[in-house]
Amino acid sequence: MKAESKGILKRISGPVVTAVGLDAHMYDVVQVGDEQLMGEVIRIEGDKTIIQVYENTSGIRPGEPVSNTGLSLAVELGPGLLTSIYDGIQRPLEVLVDKMGNFIERGVTAPGLSHETKWEFMPLVKAGDAVAPGAIIGEVQETNIVTKIMVPPKSKGGVVKEIKSGAFTVDEVVCTLDSGEDIKMMQIWPVRVPRPVTEKMNPDIPLITGQRILDGLFPVAKGGTAAIPGPFGSGKTVTQQALAKWSDAQIVVYIGCGERGNEMTEVLTEFPDLEDPKSGKPLMERTVLIANTSNMPVAAREASVYTGITIAEYFRDMGYDVSLMADSTSRWAEAMREISSRLEEMPGEEGYPAYLAARLSEFYERAGRVETLAGDSGSVTVIGAVSPPGGDFSEPVTQNTLRIVKCFWALDAKLSQRRHFPAINWLNSYSLYLDTLSKWYDENVSPEWNGLRTWAMEILQKEAELQEIVQLVGSDALPDEEQVTIEVARMLREIFLQQNAFDPVDTYCSMEKQYDIMLAIKLYADLAYSALKAGVAPAKIVTITAKNDLPQIKFTQDYKADMEKIHKAMEAEFAKLREALR
Amino acid sequence: MKEYRTINKIAGPLVFVEKTEPVGYEELVNIVQSDGTVKRGQVLDTSDEIVVVQVFESTAGIGRDSGVRFTGETIKMPVSKDMLGRILSGSGKPKDGGPEIVAEKRLDIGGAAINPYARQSPADFIQTGISTIDATNTLVRGQKLPIFSGSGLPHNEIALQIARQAKVPGSTEEFAVVFAAMGITKEEENQFMADFERTGALEHAVVFLNLADDPAVERIITPRLALTTAEYLAFELGYHVLVILTDMTNYCEALRQIGAAREEVPGRRGYPGYMYTDLASLYERAGLIKGEKGSVTQLSILTMPGDDITHPIPDLSGYITEGQIVVNRELHRKGIYPPINVLPSLSRLMNAGIGEGKTREDHKKVSDQMYAGYAEGNDLRGLVAIVGKDALSERDQLLLEFADHFENRFVRQGHDEDRSIDDSLDLGWELLATLPEELLVRIDRDLIRKFHPKYRSKEA
């Protein structure tokens, strides 16, 4: 560790302060003022050091001391992360309530992990085993998730000289190597540096989310990146939360970056009661929350996404699939803009700093499916919400994000106004993972799935074209076949695409059920087109009653028998229609 | 206290003072003019060379000969229970001829953020008696729900009606209203005050008035004083507080004015880049705290310049608040009161406050179905203009009629008409019953059987 250096405050302007006489390096963590507020060096100019402060600076005066810790902003990684809720710089909010009451005051620090709790450590290697950096030497059964204890990536590795078993705190040595290096359960890692991996692999397994429009039409791969841009009120947060609830990742890191306090509280109260559809355990047990609400200090908001992704990478290194939700990356970009303008930097587009694109791509590039140092495979999927001002997708944050991410789920205020949820526009959205994932769908859902998907997209596209005509001349003026197409598209929209996140059954739809629903709509379409060819009037085809029961399938848990009935009823009704012709 | 006579620059509301001893950021400053008047300000930027002070009142009369006193503390306001029933100026001075506020406590007006862990999820339904809010955009205790309006629309009437009628059914807990006016006209003030007096609401209210001819910069602190008072009443005295802030647009203009005077790099349309954070520091001061009795519910009013919802003020507000009630000019022109357009309106906390045991089990589905029907019917109006009503299919004609009924019967109500939630939902069912049953795809069969007038009348 570098020697501690001290300086004196010279200027205070909001979250940005200037110190002189400080011996500092970029991104060193410093303690500012008599109250020792936490800050980070963001610029060095001659003798002046410019610091962004993570806490409110009111009342701080020039002349107060500044000291440099010589460390960069880092998080504590180890047992105890799961179920925690942190602010942007990994201060546990639960502990802060005990320390300073209901409101967040400043100058209070608390370690990210509890240093008192004893965790039951189970060794997985024995004395004499050679361990490389990143190797797993033991585990702690934390919730229903096992936290694996690894040799820190920066260690040189070596041969295990002694390894213990039993209950330890995160500070106690659990393993000693022949090099004399002590290994503890806790690692400290600087947040702005990606954790190392052996190799990045191609993402070819989908992240199953239980959301029909996502899994069915625009899937994201495990280790992929996706962006959800949308104007306010279009359901970004509900979609993000649905993903946090139901995605089949083993670990979920949810970053509430500059968003509403009540929303974080909602997650906090809801997650402990919700069950993970796979393990049956409370969702909270696999979740780490980072909450830096919009009225918490802006510099800590800037740091929050790095804190979140570093925690995600840590779990990935254990071989887990992690999904990370950042809500919202626009607030993060705005934090950068605010700091940048206080620094009086030359602004780029719309006042955002010129390095906006670089920061965004660095962040998303930390996603990926990887071979870990220990040789397992793990992944971090990054799903970022974007809040474009005025719903205008041409603004810099949306545009720079789109250049990087592979999956785009375009939220649409028009749809949400009609209460079409999730309000994801099926015409503007896309996923570039379709090709790499098609093999998985072939093998795990049905060989017909990819064909069905393409068929559905064609119908929806066709409908959009037809709607333009309908807007002008009304639907009765369309040719017969196209009237049927409109009806099929309506079914796709209302039955397949619409999903009620608040209905206990419909909130999660398995891949099998998605396939069955799609198949039923296809069956109707096939029967309808062939009846049409046989000469049945379109008005009769469109109004058959058997398909009216189909929407109810969504809200039924054991739907198989009902589905069977609907198939039979549709076939019977169409047969009747054709018979009537003879 | 040391007095400096070292002012070297005055620009708009900003005063630059040199050669001071160390001065704290955001410290309260008193500026003494040569004629003895004292003006108040706050430190915006401090260094050992120069201190920038933002003056809350007009800088007219301040010159190089004025004295500057730094008080050594950030702005604190005296609060007490006796504030109820009082009318104060935008900077917290009595305006009703009454005595100064005797402080039970002095609180920092900046207000610390509520720790998200300490928050309690808002879930208590507030009945406003207005169908378009109660049934389709439900307000809950601890929510921040703004009214997005335009110039010349009856947003004040709506706000007053809500303040008058809002209640939590079955609850008798103490409530209070904190009203903060920023840059409103004398006439608007009279309208509010007359209503408060007529209904006796003034007894439970604390009023802060910054009128159109009061200094614009004062508007920066008015909402902070109001919210500090509200938090004190709610979290120390256990009141359920409804805060009405009007008009947020004037607040943002003042923010822009200061940004320009400081020669900051402007963001969209000249508003400062930190406007989101600044607005959040107001709007986020609403909610409930675990273990505390009271609550702060915020109802802010903002007029959208040019009725443009994508303008930075409504846009940034919408990203922070938990929904919005949008007042619509077209409905107003049709003579419908309250002219609330439900389509762009939204209450994000609605789902937490409704349903069985809170309002009624069919609430959510009825609301969704009405939205869908009205949205579709509304779209069809465009088509009718081109092809005429006769060219529509029977289904479309019904939807079109539904949209008309919706506006004329559901949206429209009297200024003093206080509809219970049951009335609003039943009215919704009555309208939905004009549509064929198979169009009601968003409602489960069971609920249809239980609530649809067709089946209900059979039972009866």
Residues of A in contact with B112 (CB under 8 A): 56, 103-105
Which helix (H) or strand (E) segment is A343 a member of?
none
In whole angstroms, give the CA distance from residue B216 to residue B209: 12
User: Could you tell me if residue A316 is left (phi over 0), alpha (psi between -120 and 50 degrees) or otherwise beta?
Assistant: alpha
Residues of A whose CB is below 8 A from B318: 231-233
- pLDDT, mean of residues A89-116: 90
Residues in A closer than 8 angstroms to B283, CB to CB, are 294
Chain A touched by B122 (CB under 8 Å): yes
pLDDT band at A382 (very low <50, low <70, confident <90, very high): very high
Chain B, window 379-438: residues with a beta carbon less than 8 angstroms from a chain A beta carbon: 382-383, 386-387, 391-393, 396, 438
Contact check, Cβ <8 Å, A262/B438: no
The answer to whether the Cβ–Cβ distance between A262 and B74 falls below 8 Å is no
Q: CB distance from B74 to chain A under 8 Å?
A: yes
Do A418 and B376 count as a contact with CB atoms less than 8 A apart?
Answer: yes
Measure the CA–CA gap between B129 and A250, rounded to whole angstroms. Answer: 46
Q: Which of A232, A327, A352, A544 to mutate to test the interface with B (most CBs of B within 10 A)?
A: A232
Q: Which of A233, A265, A419 has the CB atom closest to B372's CB atom? A: A419
Per-residue pLDDT reduced to its tens digit, B74-104 = 889 999 999 999 999 998 999 889 999 999 9
Report, as an integer, the average pLDDT of B318-347. Answer: 94
B382 and A471 in contact by Cβ < 8 A?
A: yes
A180 and chain B in contact, CB less than 8 A: no
- Measured CA to CA, the distance from residue B53 to residue B71 in angstroms comes to 13
Closest by Cβ to A63, choosing from B22, B273, B382: B22
Of B112, B277, B280, the CB nearest to A103: B112
A134-161 mean pLDDT: 93
Tell me the per-residue pLDDT of A296-326, one tens digit each, with 9 for 90 and over: 888 889 999 999 999 999 999 999 999 999 9
pLDDT at B43 over 50: yes
B425/B419 Cα distance (integer angstroms): 10
* Residue A85, min C-alpha distance to chain B (Å): 8
Which of B220, B289, B227, B239 has the alpha carbon at shortest distance from B54?
A: B220
Q: Phi and psi dihedrals of A521, rounded to 5?
A: -65, -40
Is A356's Cβ below 8 Å from some Cβ in B? no
pLDDT score of A3 more than 90: no
Residue corresponding to tokens 């209640």: B167
Write out residues 419-478 of A within 8 Å (CB-CB) of B. Answer: 419-420, 470-477
Please list the helix, strand and coil fractions of chain B in percent, rounded to the nearest 5, in that order.
40, 25, 35
| Minimum mean pLDDT range among A6-20, A40-54, A469-483, B126-140 | A469-483
pLDDT tens digit sequence for A422-467: 999 999 999 999 999 999 999 999 999 999 999 999 999 999 999 8
Confirm if A13 and A28 have CB atoms less than 8 A apart.
Answer: no
Residue A221: per-residue pLDDT? 96
Query: CA-CA distance, B407 to B332, in Å (whole number)?
Result: 11
Residues 6+ apart with CB under 8 A from A504: none
CA A544/CA A546 separation, integer angstroms: 6
Q: A–B: how many Cβ contacts below 8 A?
A: 223
Cβ atoms < 10 Å from Cβ of B69? 15
A11 contacts B22? CB cut-off 8 A: no
pLDDT at A1: 40
Q: Mean pLDDT across the stretch A334-354? A: 86
B270/A contact by beta carbon, under 8 A: no
Closest CA of chain B from A197, distance in Å:
34
Spatial contact of B164 and B126, defined as CB atoms under 8 Å apart: no
Q: What is the pLDDT of residues B138-176, one digit of tens each?
A: 999 999 999 999 999 999 999 999 988 988 888 888 889
Q: Which residues of A touch B341 (CB under 8 A)?
A: none
State the average pLDDT for chain B: 91
CA atoms within 13 A on the CB side of A131: 33
Give the nearest partner residue to B47 out of A62, A64, A494, using CB atoms.
A62
CA nearest B242: which of B291, B175, B171? B175
Residues of chain B with C-beta less than 8 angstroms from the C-beta of A105: 112
Q: Which of A265, A553, A557 would best serve as a mutation to test chain B binding (most B beta carbons within 10 A)?
A: A265
Q: What is the DSSP string of B26-61?
A: TEEEEEE-TTS-EEEEEEEEEESSEEEEEESS--TT
Binding-face residues of A in 215-234 toward B, CB within 8 A: 231-233
Phi, psi of A96 (to 5 degrees): -65, -35
pLDDT of residue A530: 94
Per DSSP bridges, beta strands A65-72 and A28-32 are antiparallel
Contact B46, B36 (CB under 8 A): no
Distance from CA of B12 to the nearest CA of A (A): 19
**Cross-chain Cβ contact A96/B441 below 8 Å:** no
Q: Could you say which residues from 372 to 391 on chain A have a Cβ atom under 8 Å away from some Cβ of chain B?
A: 387, 389-391
Q: Which of A63, A102, A470 sits opposite B118 (nearest CB)?
A: A102
pLDDT tens readout for residues A150-172: 999 999 999 999 999 999 999 99
Three-state DSSP state, A431:
strand
Res. B298: pLDDT tops 80: yes
Chain B 232-251, residues with CB within 8 Å of chain A CB atoms: 235
B352 touches chain A (CB under 8 A): yes
Chain A interface test: which of B17, B53, B115, B320 (most A C-beta within 10 Å) = B115
User: What dihedral angle (degrees, nearest 10) is formed by the CA atoms of A460, A464, A466, A470?
Assistant: 130
Q: What confidence score (pLDDT) does residue B458 get?
A: 64
Summarize the confidence of residues A281-292 as an average pLDDT. 90
Nearest-by-Cβ selection for B383 from A64, A261, A471: A471
Alpha helices in B308-452 (DSSP H): 312-320, 329-333, 350-353, 363-387, 394-405, 421-432, 445-451
Q: Considering only CA atoms, which of A46, A85, A43, A49 is closest in space to residue A67?
A: A49
All residues of chain A having their beta carbon less than 8 Å from the beta carbon of residue B364 are: 502
pTM confidence score: 0.89
Residue B48 sits at the chain A interface (C-beta within 8 Å): yes
Query: Nearest CA of chain B to the CA of A549: how many Å?
Result: 10
Instruction: For residue A15, count CB atoms less than 10 angstroms from its CB and return exposed for 0-12, middle for 13-18, buried for 19 or more.
Output: buried
Among A101, A105, A262, beta carbon nearest to B322: A262
Burial category of B106 from C-beta neighbours within 10 Å (exposed 0-12, middle 13-18, buried 19 and up)? exposed
Choose, out of A17, A102, A328, A331, the residue to mutate when testing the contact with B (most B CBs < 10 Å). A102
Q: Which residues of B touch A63 (CB under 8 A)?
A: 22, 48
Q: Do B393 and A475 touch (CB under 8 A)?
A: yes
The DSSP annotation for A91-145 comes to: -BHHHHHHHH-SB--SS----SS-SS--EEEEESS-TT-EE-TT-EEEEEE-SSS
Q: Is B202's pLDDT higher than 50?
A: yes
Instruction: Tell me the residues of chain A between 35 and 94 that have a Cβ less than 8 Å away from chain B.
Output: 56-64, 85, 93-94
- Residue B145's closest CA among B311, B353, B423? B353
Asked whether residue B286 carries a pLDDT value surpassing 80, the answer given is: yes
For B405, the token pair is 């009924």
Residue A2: per-residue pLDDT: 45
**CB–CB of B117 and A268 under 8 A?**
yes
Q: How confident is the model at residue B364 (pLDDT cuts 50, 70, 90)?
A: very high
pLDDT at B256: 92
Where does B127-168 show beta strands of DSSP type E? 139-140, 147-149
For residues A386, A392, A397 and A402, what is the CA-based torsion angle, rounded to 10 degrees? 80
Q: Could you tell me if B94 lies within 8 Å of chain A, comparing CB atoms?
A: no
B interface mutation test: which of A61, A100, A352, A416 has the most B CBs within 10 A? A61
Mutation for A interface: B53, B71, B132, B319, most A CBs within 10 A = B319
Of residues B24, B114, B264, nearest to A60 (C-beta): B24
Chain Cα centroid distance, residue A364: 11
CA atoms within 13 A on the CB side of B235: 25
